[in-house]
Chain A
Amino acid sequence: MARKPITYYLREDKMPHIWCEGCGHGIVLSAVLRAIDSLNLDKNNVCVVSGIGCASRAPGYLDFDTLHTTHGRALAFATGIKMMKPNLDVIVLAGDGDLAAIGGNHLIHAARRNIDITTICFNNSIYGMTSGQYSPMTPTGKMATTAPYGHIEEPFDLCELVFAAGASFVGRGTAYHAAPLSRLIAKAIAQDGFAFVEAVSQCPTYFGRRNKMRNALVMLDWQKEHAVTKKAASRLSPDELEDKFIIGELGTRARPEYTKRYESIIEAATKETDDDV
C-alpha cells in the first residue's frame, strides 16, 4: 500500500497551528494521521471530534468532517454522530483535562457502552490552554500555577480506569516513541468497540519550565527513560519500576459493540409492530 504524504490529511491553508515550540501534540497528531493512512481509511468517512484545550484544536487542521465542541463533551457529541451514522470512523482527540476532569463521566460511560469510537488522550499532565493549572494527570509533587506548593493529589491511571469501565481496547504510548504510538493507534481504530490510547505528550511551556525540565528535549528524554514496555517491565524489580510507566497495548477484549447491539432493539421493535398489525 502506497503511503500518502501526511499533507494529504491536512488543511494546510489553516496553518500555522497554535501549538508552542516543543509541544508534543504535533507528534501525536502525526501518529494519528499515519495510523489512519496505514488503515487506508476514506477521508470522507472519517469524523474527528474534540472538546476544549490545546489538543482539541487539532481537528481544525485535519481534512475530514471535524467538530470542535464544548469543554469535556467531545465523547457525548461523538456518540450522537456514531449512533446515527455507525459506518463513520469516529475519532475523538482530547487533552487530559478535557477527558479526565470535566469530561470524565462521558469517558467512563462511552467505555461502558463500548461504542465504536477511538479516543486519543493527549496527556501533557497540565492545562496548557489556560497557562498551567494542575490536571487529574499531574503527578504528585509537581508544580502548577494552582499548585504553587507542589501538587498533593494522585493522578489517574487512565488506561486502567477506561478498561475497568468496559472498553474493548486500551493502550499507552509517548510522543518520543512516535512510530509504535502510530501502530498502537491503528490497532485502536481497527478495534470494534470503544478504544482508548493515552499518548504521553510534553508541554515545555507550562509544565516543563515550572518543573525543572527546561525544554522539549529534556522532556522527550524523560519519556524515553521512564516508559517501559510490558516485556521490559517484567524484568524489572518493584523498586526499579517505581518511577516508570508501561507503554504498549494494555488491554484488549471482545465485547458486543453498542451500535450493533442497538440493531437488536430495532429488530425487536419492528417485529412487535409487524405482530401488532
Chain B
Amino acid sequence: MGNKTSIRLMQGNEACAEGAVAAGMRFFAGYPITPSTEIAEELAFILPKVGGKFIQMEDEIASISAIIGASLTGAKSMTATSGPGFSLKQESIGFAAIAEVPCVIVNVMRVGPSTGVPTAPSQADVMQARWGTHGDHPVVVLCPTSVAETYTLIVEAFNISERWRIPVIFLMDEVIGHMREKVAIPDPGELNIVNRARPRCKPEDYLPFDADAGDGVVPPMADFGTGYRYHLTGLTHDRTGFPTTKRPEVDALIRRLDSKMDKAKQEVTFVDEVLTEDADIAVFAYGITARAGARAVRDARASGVSAGLLKVKTLWPFPEEHVERIASKVRAIVVPEMNMGQLVREVERASKGKTKVISLTRVDAEPISPQQILSALKEV
C-alpha cells in the first residue's frame, strides 16, 4: 500500500486484519460490534484490493454461517466479534467442528455477561471459547499478548485451522484490540503458510470423511465446484459424509474429532517461558495480563524475589505439561485473570497438588496492574 518501510505503528485490531490477509484469508463476513469493529472496517477496505471479498451480514449467526460456506469453496475465511456475538455464533462453530470446515473466529473480549461494558477489557470468555458450543468437539484457542504478536499469531491460527480442519478461536481482549504498538511486519516470504490438504484421488473414489485417506486423523478436503460432488452435514456422519446413527460410527467420529486435540497439541502449543529457569515462584498469564505479569516479574526480581513468567498464547488445548513442569519447581503459581478465575482451575488441575496456586481476579473493567501482581508475588 505504498508503504516502503516494514515498521509500522498499528492497532491490535488492524494487525489482526492484516495478519489474516497475510495468512491468505480472502473472505470475511462480520457484524458491527465493539470492540472488534475495526477488524471489519479494515478488511472492507483491504480485501477487495487483494482479490478477496468482504460482506457485512445481517447478524452474527449469518456471519459465521457465511464464512463456513465460503471456506467450502476453498477460501480461507474469518469472522470477528465480541462477547454477545460470540455467544450467538456458538451453534455454527459446532457445525464447523463436526463438518471439519476450517475457519477462524476472532473474539475481542469485553466485559460481560450480556451487554456488560462494551468498551472495556475482560478475559471472561476463556471457558466459552473452549466449551461454548454443545457436544464434545475439538477447538484450538489462541490469545496474543501484544500487537506484533497478534499479526504473527493470527497467521498460526489459519495454519492450524487448515492443517487440522478445525475452527480456531482467536481470543483478543479490548486492550490488545485497541492498543497501538510498533510492529515489524514480516516479509511475506518469511511467513510459514499452511493450506488444507486436498484430495488427490479421482472424484468417484473420494470418501470425504475417510481420515485414512489422509494422515489417519484429518481427511483431505475437496473444494465445492471442483467435481467431487460430496455431502456435508451437521449430523453425525459416516466416511461418505452421510448421516448415521449407528453406534460404532457415531463413536468413531466423535473420538476421531476429539483426537485432533491430542495429535495437534505439540504443534499448536505456544508458551513462552520467561526467567523460569531459576524461579521459585511463577506467574501464569495470557493476553494483556501477561504484559503486566512480565513487568511484575522484572520488578520482583529487582526486589530479590526469584519470579518467572509463563506467557501462555495457546489457552486450549491447555498447556498442562508446561504447568506441571513449573509446578514441580516453584513454591507457588500466581494466576492473574480479568475474570472471576477461569483458567486458574486448569492450572490447579495440571499442578496436581505439587504447588500452591493463587488466583488473582479483576472484574472492574480495568486491566490488572503490574503492582497488583507484584504484591501477590511478595506476599507468597
Contact B242 A76 (CB under 8 A): no
- Which of the segments B163-171, B225-233, B298-306 contacts the partner chain? B225-233
Pick from B51, B69, B230, B234: contact of A76, CB under 8 Å? B69
Mark the stretch among B56-64, B139-147, B264-272, B331-339 that contacts chain A.
B56-64
What is the distance, in angstroms, from A87's C-beta to the closest C-beta of chain B? 7
> Are B55 and A83 in touch, CB under 8 angstroms?
yes
Give min CB distance, A54 to chain B, whole Å.
13
Cβ of A189 < 8 Å from any Cβ of B? Answer: no
Shortest C-beta distance, B78 to chain A (Å), equals 11
Among A63, A65, A84, A109, contact of B26 (Cβ-Cβ < 8 Å): A84
The verdict on B67 contacting chain A, using a C-beta distance below 8 Å, is yes
- Given known pairs A64-B229, A77-B68, A265-B48, the reply for A84 and B62 (CB within 8 Å) is no
Q: Which residues of B contact A276 (CB under 8 A)?
A: 1-2
Q: Which of B65, B66, B95, B227 has the most CB of A within 10 A?
A: B65
When A66-B232, A81-B73, A83-B27 are in contact, do A273 and B1 touch as well, CB less than 8 Å? yes
CB distance from B201 to the nearest CB of A (A): 16
Q: Across the interface, do B49 and A269 meet the contact criterion of CB distance under 8 Å?
A: yes
B46 → chain A closest CB, angstroms: 8
Give 1 or 0 for each of A8-36: 1 = CB within 8 Å of chain B CB: 00010010000000000000000000000
Tell me whether A70 and B231 are in contact in the complex, defined as CB-CB below 8 angstroms, given that A109-B58, A276-B2 are known contacts: no
Chain A 59-76 near chain B by CB (<8 Å), digits 1 or 0: 110011111111001001
Give chain A residues whose Cβ lies under 8 Å from the Cβ of B227.
44
A264 to B302, CA, bound (A): 60
Which A residues are in CB contact (< 8 Å) with B231? 11, 59-60, 66-68
In the docked arrangement, what's the CA distance between A164 and B322, Å? 59
Count of chain B residues with a beta carbon within 8 Å of a chain A beta carbon: 46
Q: Which of A60, A81, A109, A272 contacts B69 (CB 8 A)?
A: A81
User: Cβ of A87: which chain B residues have Cβ within 8 Å of it?
Assistant: 225
Q: Which residues of B contact A69 (CB under 8 A)?
A: 65, 68, 95, 234
| Interface size counted on chain A using CB atoms at 8 A | 42
**Residues on the B chain within 8 Å of A277, using CB:** 2
What per-residue 1/0 map shows which CB atoms of B34-55 lie under 8 Å from chain A?
A: 0000000000010011010101
Identify which of residues 100-139 in chain A touch chain B, using a CB-to-CB cut-off of 8 Å.
105-106, 109
Residues of A within 8 A of B2 (CB): 276-277
CA distance A69 to B72 in the complex (A): 12
Residues from chain A with Cβ under 8 Å of B234 in the complex: 68-70
Does B225 contact A60, Cβ atoms closer than 8 Å? no
Residues in A with CB closer than 8 Å to B131 are: none
Let me know if A266 is at the binding interface, CB within 8 A.
Answer: yes
Is A81 in contact with B62, judged by CB distance below 8 angstroms?
A: no
Bound together, the chains give a CA A44 to CA B230 distance in angstroms of 10
Q: Do the beta carbons of B69 and A266 come within 8 Å of each other?
A: no
B residues less than 8 Å from A269 (CB atoms): 45, 48-49
Mask of A245-277 contacts with B, CB within 8 angstroms, 1/0: 000000000000000001001101110110011
Q: Inside 8 A of A66's CB, which chain B residues have their CB? A: 229-232
Q: A73-B65, A85-B73 are in contact. Are A80 and B49 (CB under 8 A)?
A: no
> Do A80 and B70 form a contact, CB below 8 Å, given A67-B232, A68-B234, A70-B95?
yes
What's the Cα separation between A270 and B47 when bound, in Å? Answer: 10
CA distance A87 to B223 in the complex (A): 14
Write out the residue numbers on chain A whose beta carbons fall within 8 Å of the beta carbon of B70.
80-81, 83-84
Which 5 interchain pairs have the tightest Cβ spacing?
Answer: A80-B69, A76-B65, A80-B70, A80-B66, A269-B48
